[in-house]
Amino acid sequence: MEISVIGAGYVGLITAAGLAEKGHNVLVIDIQKEKVDMINAGKSPLYEEGLEEILRKNSGKRLKATTDGEKSILDTDVTFICVQTPADFEGAVDLRPIKRVAENVGKTLKKKKTYHVVVVKSTVPPSTTEKTVTPILEENSGKKAGRDFGVVMSPEFLREGIAIKDFLNPDRVIIGATEEKAYKTVEEIYRGFNCPIYRTDPRTAEMIKYASNIFLATKISFINDIGNICKKLDIDTYKVAEGLSMDKRISPHFLNAGLGWGGSCFPKDIRGLVHKAKELGYEPKLVDGVIKINEEQPKIMVRLGKKRLGTLEGKKAAVLGLAFKPNTDDIRDSQALPVIEYLLKEDACVVVYDPKAMENAKKTINGRITFAKTAQEALKDADIAFITTAWEEFRELDYSGMKKPIIVDGRNLLRHRKDIIYEGLCW
């Protein structure tokens, strides 16, 4: 099928590359000329495992990048909208980028002679596709949705680091539409995928995305809440999780207790839905609690360090890990950031290290912290170390360069070590 994808950001580029890999002809549209040139040269403007390989293989053949949105929409049958939906200062989802895109797509649809399907992939609050995107498309095209063109909401469930794999082997594809022709067109795109396709309406599809992320974050906050109680009772939370997850109704995934969740999706989406619910006059108590537990974990970590040393004032504290999870350089809403903030509030001398995220951290973190070149440099003469990201390499580090190897482990990496003074965060 001939497909255009608007936005060569994370979701757009993975979607475009994945669809090309599955045999479709894809045009990916972006306003940044440098990005477009890179993609056409088979290079990835962002790091994601396996992405560059797919770009190299498909660029110039089934995958082309362009700045010409209008021509791309006219030349294709389906357009995926993959623009960002950032949070505004109140936590609400900023819909301006998607509204601008819908306006332009609508204007192009006015010139189009044949049926076209617009697929919203960006994460948007429930009812946005029907109440905001569709009216803008209709107004600017002078056409009727459901008759002259189709509108579909199909959320993404890509995890950073394994997004290509997630795209090519999804657990399910959700197709939220209102008419048969639109369902059929998008189902045709996913014909080569080995997974269930779930038909629903657009606002249910939008809610499925939020509910999925919130459910996963809830599992993590749940096990952290249980873990905080376990710690006080001298019970190993990981053993509790193991026993718990033997119940088939529970599943072992996302039950790793520790410092909690961060990243570009969970925090933004969870706050976005809370904001929407409150706007509608509903207080989502469970979800509020999920956020509160997550905000507490970095405080608990610093408190444990303070208890160990008596005071953190003037103490050298090594923070190992800045990325929100391993195998990425992404520090957006990383739980390491509040740990650093609280350590600074305690007047500790903070030294940080991360195998991949140092450059991003230097651009973002202001304050009296030192950026070490290696983990060993961060640990040298440190009074205490905090493990904040689950990088595999931290498991086998040499901690003997510290004054005393006191480690507060927020990611369950070091409990096997006999040569350190160990403190698990909530186990």
Q: Which residue has the tokens 């189009």?
A: 112
CB of 237 to ligand UDX, least distance (A): 12
In the stretch 389-408, what mask flags binding to ligand UDX with x, by CB under 6 A?
Answer: --------------------
How would you label 70-94 residue by residue, b for 16+ Cβ within 10 Å and e otherwise?
eebbbebbbbbbbbbbeeeeebbbe
Inter-residue contact 14 to 28 (CB < 8 Å): no
Indicate whether 324 belongs to the interface with ligand UDX (CB under 6 A): yes
Q: Which of 29, 1, 4, 426 is nearest to 222 (CA)?
A: 426
**From candidates 268, 276, 325, 356, binder to ligand UDX by CB under 6 A:** 325
Shortest Å, Cβ 316 to ligand UDX: 26
Which of 82, 195, 230, 265 does the annotation list as catalytic? Answer: 265
Please work out the total of residues on this chain that contact ligand UDX, with binding judged by CB under 6 A.
20
Verify whether residue 349 is a known catalytic residue: no
Angstrom distance (rounded) from CA 410 to CA 413:
8
Please count the other Cβ atoms lying within 10 Å of the Cβ belonging to residue 331. 25
Which one of 260, 305, 355, 424 is in contact with ligand UDX (CB under 6 A)?
260
Nearest-5° Cα angle at 252, 249 to 258: 130
Nearer to ligand UDX, 99 or 165 (CB): 165
Closer to ligand UDX by CB, 30 or 156: give it.
Answer: 156
Asked if 256 interacts with ligand UDX (CB under 6 A), we say yes
Looking at the Cβ atoms of 149 and 261, the one nearer to ligand UDX is 261
Of 361, 346, 258, the residue nearest 302 (C-alpha): 346
Contact with ligand UDX (CB under 6 A) among 106, 263, 321, 355:
263
Q: Phi and psi at residue 259, in whole multiples of 5°?
A: -75, -15
Query: In this structure, how many other beta carbons lie within 10 angstroms of the beta carbon of residue 281?
Result: 6
The half-sphere exposure of 335 on its side-chain side, counting CA atoms within 13 A, is 28
Interface with ligand UDX includes 78 (CB under 6 A)?
A: no
262 counts as binding ligand UDX under rule CB under 6 A: yes
Smaller CB separation from ligand UDX, 141 or 237: 237
Chain residues that interact with ligand UDX, rule: CB under 6 A: 156-160, 213, 216, 220, 254-256, 258, 260-263, 265-266, 324-325
- Name the residues annotated as catalytic: 265
